[in-house]
Amino acid sequence: MKNQQPNRSPRPERRLDAQLPPDSLAYSLACAATLVESVLAGGNLNDAFETALAQHPGWSDATRGAVRDLAWGSLRDYGRGDAVLRQLLHKPLPEAIHALLLVALHRLESRPEQAHTVVNQAVDAAEALLPPLKGVVNGVLRNRLRNQSVLDAELRADQAAYYRHPAWWVERLRASYPAAWEAALAAGNERPPMALRVNRLRGSVDAYAAELAAAGHAFRRLANDALVLEKPLAMAALPGFAEGRVSVQDAGAQWAARWLDLAPGQRVLDACAAPGGKSAHILETAPVALWSLELDAVRSRRIMDNFARLGLAAEVRTVDCRHVARWWDGRPFERILADVPCSASGVARRHPDIKWLRRADDIARFAAQQAEILDALWPTLAPGGKLLYVTCSVFDEENTQQIERFCARHADAQRLPLDGMPARQLLPATDHDGFYYALLAKRS
């Protein structure tokens, strides 16, 4: 798989609608394969999916969901699917067919009771994509089914295939979390949970929980009042979503506003704010004067759109937070949220292309950028103020080691406990994604 190219042009659209029934599994397999093909070439999965949605405005909710589920699932399982194809293929195939086989293999594993249908529908999809190779697709998939037990035994020796993560990723987690690494990897292969955050400015958590229960939506209420749904819902189907009474936000991310130790009237900075969930949660928690910074103009627009739906207001600026002279007015902040760019290794089940496009040496690059941000923001924090450092990473170099290096550089930085612990590393789990939190105070 090639390195990701952020500015890569979308791949030419394939007109599958005239060749396959849009409500068929074959159609969903073929469309999902085009998304996977884009990632195999170094593209971004979310961007590819947004392009597909724009090209197919008539997709039903069922088709949209099926294509997304197949593409995301195939890339979560890429390590296994790629290993199977290395065993079964004698020469490389065109990317479109290679991607289709990855999608079909994922479907065979997730729905083994549908094996006959999956093979037949994958052959139909191949005929629409590259007709001369439909026989190859049929042969590879049937060979997989005939030799499944033998192939599975061989795959157990391949770390990337067995754990569905790159081998370097597995080794880093094994070294950092000797008691929890396998559970974290397993959770990273699951479909992510859907968690809700109630806008307390427009209603109580108790009242919204009762409303969910009355509507027949089962959920779990966590210690930070996140509501984790047993079954995901379309956002439009959430009671009160359009009215700004509730937002979708991972439960692990909902600790940020709590651990910032907010109070009315404080001057607060969210330095890397898009898409605005944590900024919104800050404003829902306390009446503070908030500045939200974001480097990208499109993502800044999303922050403002979120604020508009929720009935919130803040100073939103499109700027690189490291260039302090371009945005800071010289008045110190009493609280800073530094939710810095990172490897996103803790949220890879939501963005499974990350696992396979990321490289081991990328982590040092992220760590260097994080250090630049921390060093730039620290002078803007008031004496006695607090900075909450956050990543959605599970790698020590971006987390514990980053904070240790920062404190070594800044004698006026004091680490504060979070719920009695020096820092909080949340690994991917059933209820939440992976996050790291560390709270620092500036000595007066």
Residues marked active site are found at 392
Of residues 233, 312, 325, the one with CA closest to residue 273: 312
Distance CA 176, CA 172 (A): 6
Find the helix packing angle between 95-110 and 61-76, rounded to 10°.
Answer: 100
Bridge-based pairing state of the strands 194-198 and 246-248: antiparallel
Other beta carbons within 10 angstroms of residue 104's beta carbon come to 28
Cα 300 to the chain's mean position, in Å?
19
Q: Which residues contact 361 (CB under 8 A, 6 or more apart)?
A: none
Whether 238 and 246 have beta carbons less than 8 Å apart is answered as yes
Cis peptide before 379 (omega within 30 of 0): no
Q: 424: which 2 tokens?
A: 């909080």
Q: What is the biggest distance separating any 2 CA atoms in the chain, rounded to whole angstroms?
A: 73
Other beta carbons within 10 angstroms of residue 284's beta carbon come to 19
